[in-house]
Every structure is written in structure tokens, then in C-alpha cells.
Chain A
């Protein structure tokens, strides 16, 4: 019953999404507002319907309905409740349902806003979001339904389908096959939802952009309406990437955090173009420039989001993430091609209307620097894209399949990141419009000198590679510029308004949330850079077999192997858990670590979980590689010394604070004054 109800509700939701698209188009063409209302109502119905679908699927997962193929494939009785429930996104079909559900939630939130000022855009926003939703529901209904049941055919074979084949009877397996042990980790539970929320969030600005193009409302209205959506989407995508990275560090047992895997890159690319978008829309709001560019960026971001969703859940490229090869590949490819060509055609149609009169007046003005950062972001996305598609391109033109690995990405992304840090620092203090270059130089040189404290400290700590020192200098510069700018603002308030320093700080940050929220995110990225340089340039590793009592030294630590314990757990694992003592250079015991190997007996799959001693200076990362089960006299360890990597793990918290500050609704008093100021500063708004 669950399967039939679930599938039926999915079909109804799909039909509603198609209806919403058609009704919106009718409403817009025939000027029939009642059709727009009807389309919106249809869109609003999809979220409750998909909630029913999600609830049914979770219920089936939690209550052991292994007669449903999807439930059978991603869960088993021995899994704890939270893993059974979150196995909803443990496979392809469920992931797509989950994606559609989040999309429907976001679409409903948009549809429920107050549309009085933007009535003409409503049908098109509904059409684009419902159209995207209709595509994903099509995949779910036609190609990848999670509600296939097992049937025993008369000839003894087992088949999975929604409706019973002729003469078949229902088949009930006792237990499921369980989730891949590598995915049974809290980081893996949280990583897909965050990533998907980020993906789905970027659909909203895209929908408004397309609506703006179609109705010809080409001022910055669509950007103002979707600014918060974009920031929130950006934050979720960022956190999704970090969570995935942390999972790899904790579970995959390779001492790394980022492997330039095609799937990682496919989530990284929309983040790059999305970041470019967040910056360049400010230029349009402020100076009425870069209108074509913003449209282009949001179109690319949207299609990269769809591409990313596709790559994470298909086997098109060899990757640790791939789930299975399936029929959805051609469907995704068609959808991406159609939406990209359609959007570009709209953009070409409005090309001349988007042209503005404003020009860049100085090579070092803030708008010019924003333009350069945009170029760098898009270049980063392009070189990543090149790396991902290079195997296909190479095969097409030379007949020889070839790939590029991490060295390619490191060689290209390293210099681009350095340029990015430099621009980030200068743009923070650069003024708009006409720039007195000498004055700008004077504003930059002080923080740049203060920033040199960071490479000086690194030198003193023994981190002396030239590339790393340059990176530290740039990071120091960015941090110093931001702190200098905040300090100047606080001091000005302190003197003018006679506020105590802490209140001046609070007022400064809350009265100009977007600016300082952004700066705080910049701090987070700079701090993240410290961790990345630490592990990329200075990681040490060794591996050795130790008898009990023997020790090995790496970096600033020495570890002594004490013992190993082997035991079975009641969830089907055999655990080998070593005890090692970590000492610092003075011989003091600083930690006792328990690196272990969990062997999932039925899956025949081992999982290596490191023991980590983490300080702000470095992480001492110990893997138990093998051991002698009977005598317990020796064990082999692989050990990594990862300098400064804790800064990488700490930095997202700062980004969360910054992004929330930037996205937090302004107080009413501010809102009243904002349009007046914008009007005086943007002299020639394009008329629709």
C-alpha cells in the first residue's frame, strides 16, 4: 500500500507542477490574473504532497518495509533509527525525492511572499520554479521511483516494479542490504541536505532573473528581492562542501581533506560562480553596471547546480561518490542544454535593453576590483570545468582518454587564489568611482605591513617555503585590512557619538550588516587559507610497524604503541582498537589516542577511523593500518602530521556568523532611508 500511495501522490505532484507551468504562461500571455493565482495555488499544493511522499518513505525506512526496493537497498534492521531515517538520501531515487521536496519548500516560501509590487513577475517566477520541479518529479515518476516493490514471478525470478507483473505475488525480504558503512557517519548524514539546500537556494534568484528578462523589468529589483536567498544558498553550499571535506578527513583514512574528485568539483563550481554573483550584483545595485554579467552568472550557476545534482548521483565520471549508472543521464543533459540555450536566448533578446551608460572610471576603483575578482572566480570555475570534462574532450579529439589529477588543480588554483586574496584585501578599502591611486596606496600599505607579521610568525615557526610565505603575507594583509577597517569605523563612532567601544562595535556591525557581514566572511576565508597552506605545503607522513612499547616520531610529536583490543559489537562490526600515547618534544604525555578499524562483517568492508590529537598548531593524525590479532605484538600505523589544519575546520563558524549578519533583515528604520539613498547614488536607473 505504501508504495502505491507514494507513487500516486508523486504523480499528482508532477501533474500539478506541469499545470502550474502552463497556467502561469496562460496568465502572462492572456493577462488573466486568476490563472496566475491558480498556478500559484497549484505550486503551493506540491510541498504538502511531497511532504506526504517523504513521510511515507521515511516511515517505510524506519519500519523495515524491505519489500520496497529502495528501502531494501539503503537500509537494514541493524542500523540505528537516525541512520534508517536519513537513508532517505542514501541512494539516487530518494535523493531526488528529497531534492524536489526542498525545492517545493523554497518555491512555496517564494510564492507566499507579498507580490503586490511585483505582480507582473509572479507568473514567470512560478513557471520557472515549477518547471524545475516538474523536471525532477519527472525523473522520480518515470525513471527513478523510490516506490518500486519486489515481486516473485511465476518462473521464480524476483523483479522490482511499481505495479505487479502478470501472475506475480508480493515478495518480502527479511532484511535490507544496509547503507554503505562508509556513509554511516554524522558528517555524511548532514552533508547532502546542506549541499542540496545550497543547490535549491540558487534556483530562486535564477527564477527571478528569468522573470525579469521576460517581463523586461531590468532594474536591480530582482537582485534586491533575491539577495538573501543567494546569501543563504551560498552559506549552505559552503557548509555542505566543508561537511563533505570533514567526512573525508574523518572516515576515508587518507589524511587529506580535498581530493579534486569530479563530484567535489561539481559542487565547488556553482559555489565559485555563486560567490562571483553575490559580489557583482552589488555593482549593479550601486552603479547600475554589469547587468549582462549578472544575468550570465546566475544562468551559469543554475545550470551548474543542475549539473552538480546530476554528477553527485550518477556514475558518469569515475568517482568515490558515484551511486549507479542509470537512465537519468540523457534526461539531465537534455534539461541542462534546453535551460541554458533558452536562458541565453532570453538574455540575447534583452541584450540592448540591459546596456547601461555607466563606465568604470578608474582601474583601482571598487567596481573595477570587483570586476577583476569576478574574472578570477569565473576563471577558477572554468579551469575546474576544464579539468572535469578534459577526459571527454581528450577522447573526442584525440581518441585517447586522459585525465588531469590534483597536480593540475593545484598548479592552476594556487596562483588564482593568491590573486584573489590580493584583490580581496585591496577591494576592502578601495573607494567607488574615481580613485586617487596614491591615496589608495597609502591606505593599503599600513595593513600590508601589519599583515607581514603572519609570514614572520610562520618563518619563526619553521614554515619557510616561498609559496607558503607569499600566501601567509596575502592572508595577513586581508586580515589586517578587515580589522583595520572595522577598527577605524569603531573609533569614528566612539569619537563622534561618544559611544563606548563595545557598543560602537555592535552598532557599526548591525547598522551596516551587508558590508561587515561580508568582511567577516572574508576573515573566515583568510583563516581557512592558513589551514590550507599548512596542510598543502607542510604535511608530513610516515608509516611503520611497531611492537608494543616501540615509538615513532613525526613533526613535533612522538607516539608510543601500547596495545590493541579486538572485540565484536552488536551491530555487526569487528573492531580493532589500538591505544597509543602521544608525547610532545619535552616528553610530556599530551594525549592518548584510539585509532581503530571497524570491519563490517556482512559487508566485508573495513573502515579506518583515525585517532587525532588536535591543537591550533597541528593535528597529529594516526591510522591503524593492520595488526596481529593473536599475539597483539605488533601493529602498523600510518601517521600524518598536518600543520595548522585546525584553522581550516574552525573557519566555517566565522563564515556562518558573517553570512547570517549579512542576510539578517534590516530594521525598519534603515529600510525607510535605504531607497532614498540608493536613488541619489544611481542617477540613471533603466526604465522597464
Chain B
């Protein structure tokens, strides 16, 4: 069977690809946490790659344009999409998270220009590490403004 040789070769190639994928996964995996989870596992998570999501509190946004440092606070939002849906959709959940003073919060520092979408009640997805000082140092900052996309009732009266 000449084909057996090729089956073995194919198997070896696929094994190599799997090995490559597995090692790359384990070395570059980022833990996706909510603010609550990060604060609960503080000591364990210091220095590890973490992807954190939360609601941006507009009043806390500070921007130093000289040194390009952005600092803001995010409030806890549930990480589970179903949970978010149950509470009335992302826009509502974000708005409530910002308003609720009892939510756990964390300060985020990001070095770079202030992103276009950074504003009150935006969902921030920050990637970086938690510092010893309790500040989250973000290397990457992704923002979503769900209100732009979701169907909302018109407010302007005819």
C-alpha cells in the first residue's frame, strides 16, 4: 500500500500543526475576567495576561496629552452574554453599572492616544496585566458602544 506512507506523513504533519497550535495557545492565552473575578483572584493574577471587560465611567476619564497617558475607572459588568440579555441588554447593563456606586471598580491605565470610542457607558475590553499597586496596566484597549447599534426608541417628537 503506497498510500499508507502518505497517511503516516499526513499524520505527522498534522501532529506538528497541533503541537504548534497547542504551544502557541498555552503561551499566549489571556484570561478573560470580569472586574469581580479579577479582584477576587488578585494575588494569583498579578503579572498574568488578562483580558478584562467593564463599563467605562465617564467622569473618571483623565487624559494627559503631553505624555499620552489615559486613566479611567471601569465598573463590573457580567461576563455572561445570557446574563446580560436577562438584565435587559448590553446598553442597559452598562448604564446601570456606571450608576451603581456599590459595583466593584478598578482603575485602568493605558499609554497611548485617547481612543475615539472612550466615553461614558462604553464597554471597555482591556488587555494587559494587574500591577502590584492594584492598577490595571492595559497594553490594548478595545471599546464598544452598543447604543450605536442597538435598536433604541426614537426620542425626538414629531
Contacts and interface: CB of A to CB of B under 8 A. Distances in A.
Given A158-B153, A320-B144, A325-B81, A372 B13 contact: yes
A174 B112 CA distance: 39
Contacts of B14: 375, 379
A407 B65 contact: no
B40 interface: no
B116 A606 contact: yes
A171 B158 contact: yes
Given A324-B146, A325-B90, A404 B66 contact: no
Given A91-B149, A625-B65, A402 B21 contact: no
B113 A626 contact: yes
Contact of B24 (A150, A404, A545): A404
Nearest to B118: A606
A104 B78 CA distance: 41
B25 interface: yes
B79 A401 contact: yes
Given A411-B28, A607-B116, A636 B65 contact: yes
A605 interface: yes
B50 to A, nearest CB: 9
Given A360-B3, A360-B6, A408 B66 contact: no
Contacts of B32: 391, 400-403
Contacts of A603: 148
A221 interface: no
Contacts of A372: 13
Contacts of A157: 153
A324 B91 CA distance: 10
B90 A174 contact: no
A543 B113 contact: yes
Contacts of A400: 31-32
A213 B30 CA distance: 44
Nearest to A176: B154
B68 interface: yes
A328 B68 CA distance: 41
Given A360-B2, A412-B24, A175 B149 contact: no
Contacts of A73: 151
Contacts of A404: 24-25, 28-30
A112 B84 CA distance: 48
B156 A175 contact: yes
A79 to B, nearest CB: 15
Contact of B17 (A171, A360, A382): A382
Contacts of B148: 180, 603, 605
Interface residues of A, number: 66
A173 B158 contact: yes
Given A318-B125, A402-B31, A404-B30, A412 B21 contact: yes
Interface residues of B, number: 54
B71 to A, nearest CB: 15
B144 A318 contact: yes
Contact of B116 (A150, A390, A608): A608
Given A324-B151, A375-B13, A359 B3 contact: yes
B17 A383 contact: yes
Interface in A53-81: 66, 69, 72-73
Contacts of B100: none
Given A401-B32, A608-B116, A379 B17 contact: yes
Interface string A351-374: 000000001110100001001100
Interface in A127-183: 150, 157-158, 160, 171-175, 177, 180, 182
Give me the 8 closest cross-chain CB pairs, A-B, nearest first.
Answer: A625-B113, A401-B32, A173-B154, A407-B28, A411-B24, A626-B65, A408-B28, A379-B17
Given A401-B31, A543-B113, A605-B116, 6 more contacts: A72-B154, A73-B151, A174-B158, A315-B81, A318-B125, A325-B81
18 contacts: A150-B154, A172-B158, A175-B156, A253-B113, A325-B90, A359-B3, A375-B13, A401-B31, A402-B29, A403-B29, A405-B28, A408-B24, A411-B28, A416-B17, A543-B112, A603-B148, A606-B116, A636-B66
Interface of B: 2-3, 5-6, 9-10, 13-14, 17, 20-21, 24-25, 27-33, 51, 53, 63, 65-66, 68, 79, 81, 84-85, 89-90, 112-114, 116-117, 119, 125, 127, 140, 142, 144-146, 148-154, 156, 158
